[in-house]
Amino acid sequence: MASNSESWGSRIGIVLAMAGNAVGFGNFLRFPIQAMENGGGVFIIPYIVCFLLLGIPLTFVEWTIGRFGGQFGKHSTPYIMEQTGKRRGWRYVGVLGIFSTLAIASYYCYIESWTLTYVYHSIIGSFQGMSQSETASFFSDYQNTGNSHSGIPYENVIAFILCLALNIWILSRGLKGGIEKVAKFGVPLLIIFGIFLAIRGIMIQPGEYGAIAKGVEGLDFLWTPQVSSLLDPKVWLAAAGQIFFTLSLGMGCIQCYASYMKHDEDIALGALSTSFVNEFVEIVLGGTIIISISVGFFGLEHVLSMISNEGGFGIAFQTMPFLFNKWGAVMGILCGVAFFGLLFIAGITSSLAMCTPAQALLRDEFGWSRTKSAIAIGITILLWGLPTVIFYKQGVFSEYDYWAGTVSLFVFAMLEAILFSWVNGIDNSWKEFNHAADIKIPKIYKYILKYITPTLLIIIFIAALIKPNNDDWSQLSLKGWEVDANSIIGKFQGKDAGPNHKWIADTLYADLNGYFSETIIDGSGKHIRITALNEIGNEYGFAKSYPLKDDDTLLLHEGDPVEIGDPIMTGRFVNDTFYQAFARLYMILLLLIIFVIVFFTSQKRDKLKKVNP
């Protein structure tokens, strides 16, 4: 096998690179939304408990497995897992680590391109003078391939390709010359941007620049714990899911990074350092910026209503540029550059990490150079990423995110926890973890790793698999129960499809409550726009557009109210369910390709062992 001579340049380099891997969009877009959706303070106790019992232990597991595999020249998750488990079957569990990272990177790079585009539009003042509805429409129109706000044809496709090219160029520079340099510059800059925005948010006072509440009111809601949360399975599932997102667990990135460490380098302090850097960024900065600014200008109830429809992406891209400009043109530009700039840094330091397990596989098994392997990964991400760009509004993006960004990584993390504590033996694994440690980890974590963490992971997985409808756990019965549309079984059954559940249909139905606000003709054709309403019937900007072909018959007039399930138009429609089914099959194809590559490289390894035992 070819020698992979990569290495880190310094301890601070590996810590910042690991922190950059963990700090991502989830810190700024997912955490505040999860917290608000799950009752603010109701969410905090389960979140902290899950961090202590799941997050930190799994971080220990992944650093340990990675460094251990690296001693034997194994840098990709299939062979790191095989080396740890001492059985060939574990190499195929490791396939999930490469599959998840490539599939996630395929849509993650697209989100990065949004942030880069929004930095550009913030600088040139594109959002100045826009109403909230116009700002929301800007994001919606950006997703229409063929549209352009900059005069560049196919702006979203070009931005995605440029962003991917930047990732691949940095990746081709290697650990020390590429990823580590980006982390040393990017992570401190991200924190500076975050502190600036957080301070700006909590300083909001009613009556200033149109604000109606204090910025700190949102933080009061977030930081007022309620013991009742301990009895709500829904909140526990949300908290556990957020911990996985925020620490980049179950992806294979941490193992790959750690595999390039020397055996006598400390991992205990490194694991704790990166975990707490991430938590500082998430809780202190991520939990402050969006919540304080949006609550200050809209009020708590209005923001809760927005979150239920828009989510993190909607708030960030459809609302924040509008709010920044309330502070004036200059401050609007500064805040826009800082906010979308920090998101870009958070994104690219994570996507670079996602590419490394696959690059390690190509370099270790085929002897490819950094540049050749980086280009191969770029082509793969381009092929699997373009559907998320072109068919973003049809739900391809969401399908990738659910199956690769949630289910796959959770299953992988659950299996590696079992490998660490039970297959390899907790005594052996604990000894390996503490080797060359600069600090002494409390021994209680040895028992948490053996009993509590694997048990919680299994329970959470089963709960996600069979979650009852509307999270009503009182439905559980020996006679059976109706599973929720967002449970794993419910997703398999297609229960989340909504009113447009057929692949091809002759009637299109509304899938949100609102009203028919306007008809738009742009570079991608004609569209009608349904603008959502909040709970008291006031427009707040979230909108969804539907393409209208020449041979379609529109059943609405502008201003007509619309409810979920109402017919919008007749004609011939390829519904989102078709594209979502395609996305699932396309991801299965990627998984099979990786499986086949690992199978054949394994055959090659096994033959070499027979020749050179």
C-alpha span between 240 and 456 (Å, rounded): 9
Confidence at 311, pLDDT banded by 50, 70, 90? low
In this prediction, residue 1 carries a pLDDT of 47
C-alpha span between 461 and 470 (Å, rounded): 17
The answer to whether 322 and 339 have CB atoms below 8 angstroms apart is: no
**Three-class secondary structure of residue 289 per DSSP:** helix
- pLDDT > 90 in the chain, percent: 66
pLDDT per position as a tens digit, 547-586: 899 999 999 999 899 999 999 999 999 999 999 999 999 9
Quick one: average pLDDT of 171-184?
A: 94
Quick one: average pLDDT of 362-385?
A: 96
**Three-class secondary structure of residue 476 per DSSP:** coil
pLDDT higher for 554 or 613?
554
pTM of the model: 0.92
Is residue 4 over pLDDT 70?
Answer: no
Tell the residue number behind the tokens 């697209």, with chain if given.
Answer: 110
In this prediction, residue 393 carries a pLDDT of 85
- pLDDT > 70 in the chain, percent: 95
pLDDT per position as a tens digit, 99-151: 999 999 999 999 999 999 999 999 999 999 998 888 988 888 888 887 788 87
Quick one: average pLDDT of 422-437?
A: 95
Quick one: average pLDDT of 522-530?
A: 80
Nearest CA-CA partner of 193 in 289, 276, 116: 289
C-alpha span between 219 and 34 (Å, rounded): 14
Structure tokens at 499: 């009113």
Q: SS3 helix, strand, coil % of the chain, rounded to 5?
A: 70, 10, 25
* Average pLDDT for the chain: 90
The answer to whether 267 and 259 have CB atoms below 8 angstroms apart is: no
In this prediction, residue 2 carries a pLDDT of 47
Is residue 610 over pLDDT 90?
Answer: no
Round the CA-based radius of gyration of the chain to a whole number and report it: 24
In this prediction, residue 49 carries a pLDDT of 92
In this prediction, residue 542 carries a pLDDT of 64
Confidence at 613, pLDDT banded by 50, 70, 90? low
In this prediction, residue 22 carries a pLDDT of 93
C-alpha span between 270 and 59 (Å, rounded): 10
